Each structure stands twice: as C-alpha cells, then as structure tokens.
Copies of this chain bind each other. A is one copy, B any other.
Amino acid sequence: MAGGAAGEAAQAEVLRQLRSTFGPAVLETERGSTGLYALLGQVGLLERRCRNPVLVAGTASAGAKLALAQALGKHDTVGLDLVAECVNAVLARGALPLFLVAHLGIGEAESPTALPIVKGIAKGCRQADCALLGTSLEPRGGHLVGSAVGMVERARLLDGPAAARPGDLVLGITAGGLPPAAAQLVRHLLVDAGGLRLDDQPELACPLGEELLRPARIYVRAVRAVLERYRVKGVVHAVAPVADGGLVGSVAGALGRRCVARLERAALPRVPLLDLVRRVTGMADDEMARTFPMGVGMAVVVAPFYAKAAIRRIRRAGERAAVIGEVVAGSGPAVVLA
C-alpha cells in the first residue's frame, strides 16, 4: 500500500482485519494473499451428518460500487457489497460459506483508500460468518473482485430447476442497497442520461449518490436459520439471490420449466429510488421487474406449510421477509407479476 514503515503498519492492520474474521478452522499465516482452512472440524461434521461434501465456489465483482465509492469519497461499505455478491453465489446452492479471498485494484493515488475497503470486506465476512483468508492488492485499475468457497452435503445441494413445485410459496427477504450492476445502471439512467447529480436529493431520504452506494445486505444468517432448521425435511426448495436479471430473471432462474411463479406486486417492498427511476425514465412496470430487484434481496421458495415458520426464523436472524408470491403449474413465462 505504501513503502517503508507506513507500508508495514498498513500491512499489519490488514492482517488484523483478516484475523478478525478467523474461526478455529483457519490456520494463521503471516502471508496476506494466501490462506489456510483446515477441513478437520468440517470432516468431523461430515462423519455425523454430511457424508458427501461438495465445495461450492463462485466469483463476483463489486467494481461498479467501487467506482461510486471513489466518486463519493466513501469507501467503508463497498466491501459489504463484495461479500454479499460472493456469498450469494454460494447460498444459491444451499451451501454455507467457509471462506472468501479478495482482490483490490486501485491506482497508486487511491492507495489510502485500500484499508477502509479491506475493513469493509472483513466486516462483511464477520456478518457472513466466514473467514477472509486473504486479500491481494494491485496498484492499477479500479476493480474489486472476490471468490467465496462454501460447503454443502451433496444430498442437500439446491440444484435449481428441479426442486420448486406447484403450491410452494415464494418468500422475499427485503433488500438493502442495490447490487453493483443495478446501482451502476441507475446511476447511468438518472445521472448520465437523466441530468440528476449524485448530490441531488430528489424525493429520497438521502442524496442520490449515498442511496446508490448503500450496501446490499448479507443474508447468510437468515438463510442458514431456515436451511439448518429444516435439515431433514427439505422444506427449502430454492434460494434465489436477486441480481442481474432483476426480480423476474432471478426467480425464473431458480424455477423448473413446468412451474410459474406468480408474484404479487402489492407484496413487494416500496423502493423510493426505483419509483424515481420509473418517473424519470418512463420504464414500464414489467421491464422494471426484469431489470431491478424491486426491493427483494433474496427469494426463498418453500413448501407452503412451513412458510410462516420460515419467515419467523428469517426475522429472528434480523431480516424482514414476507410471502411475495406462489408457484403454480404451467409453462410460458416463468414469472408473472399480478
């Protein structure tokens, strides 16, 4: 990050941040960019209840949020977005994240912002109950990329299309800030094309830039509360983080071809920022729902009998959730907004 004593102090602080995320499975190391994770505890688990462990690995970027962070000079939350993006890929398969590694590329002039960014990643990993095993820094570019690795018993892998069935209910966990790609698109529509400025405050509770930068939420604990409770019963049929493709595309990706999800417009959280996008751009409701999360951060498809209990558990884990639709038999468009 910097040469000499300042560089060493920064490096020591990075290691402190990594350590703040370590559980007993992590073997401490003095190197920053490589980490060690002992599977023994996990294998112990396996012997009891996880006979065929599968590692789930996914990679994601929060570069679009980093660009916003740089424009606004506020760097402490973009790490939360990175962790959210990375662990979502793991949660979507019914796995829980074990650890994450991250790579940050920023120009030399921006190097003082590296530490707040790493602190944000470490905070996100603590929220996700996973270890930040390593970070690497490149003195060029403007990118923030991470990879998460999780583990799940093979028999409990959520395999997408196969699992949802007619009668299931779709729960929506209320979103935090927009995910990176959506935030970038809204910035483009409202600022580059719409003539607004990042420090305008048009019918929002805070300036536009601040609202765009607001981090996505990390749903590991909420999803785990549901997955672990119903370990045997297989009550959870799909977990769909809402990302590219908006609410409609994300839920559709988690459904089989013989199912349709009928989502209730009235059940979706109101999002003042998206109301603003609708007004400024004149975008139709259906296109909005194919493009943006519509206030839903994560959709969870469950057997109807357990919906209320699952919502209770999600709430106890600190998130808001509600039934936003149901799965019905049929073909055609996989998701209908009613």
Which residues 98-149 of A sit at the B interface, judged by CB distance below 8 A? 98-99, 101-103, 105, 133-136, 138, 140-143, 145, 147, 149
Q: Assess the B55–A37 pair: CB atoms within 8 A.
A: yes
A25 to B100, CA, bound (A): 21
Chain A 49-68 per-residue mask, 1 if CB under 8 angstroms from chain B, else 0: 00011111111110110000
The B-contacting residues of A in range 136-169, CB under 8 angstroms, are 136, 138, 140-143, 145, 147, 149, 151, 154, 157, 160
Interface residue tally for chain A (C-beta within 8 Å): 51
**CB of A206 within 8 Å of the partner chain:** no
Complex-state Cα separation, A53 to B89, whole angstroms: 24
Q: Which residues of B contact A61 (CB under 8 A)?
A: 103, 105, 136, 138
How far does the alpha carbon of A33 sit from the alpha carbon of B148 in the complex, in Å?
11
Chain B positions within 8 Å of A338 at CB level: none
Q: Are B101 and A147 in contact (CB under 8 A)?
A: yes
Contact A34–B145 (Cβ < 8 Å):
no
Q: Report copies per complex.
A: 2
Contacts of A183 in B (CB 8 A): none
A59 touches B141 (CB 8 A): no
Q: What are 12 sample pairs from A and B whose C-beta atoms fall under 8 A apart?
A: A27-B54, A36-B54, A36-B56, A37-B57, A38-B154, A39-B39, A40-B53, A43-B46, A57-B134, A58-B101, A59-B134, A143-B145
Which are the 8 A-B pairs with shortest beta-carbon distances? A147-B147, A34-B58, A59-B101, A37-B55, A143-B143, A145-B145, A39-B53, A34-B89
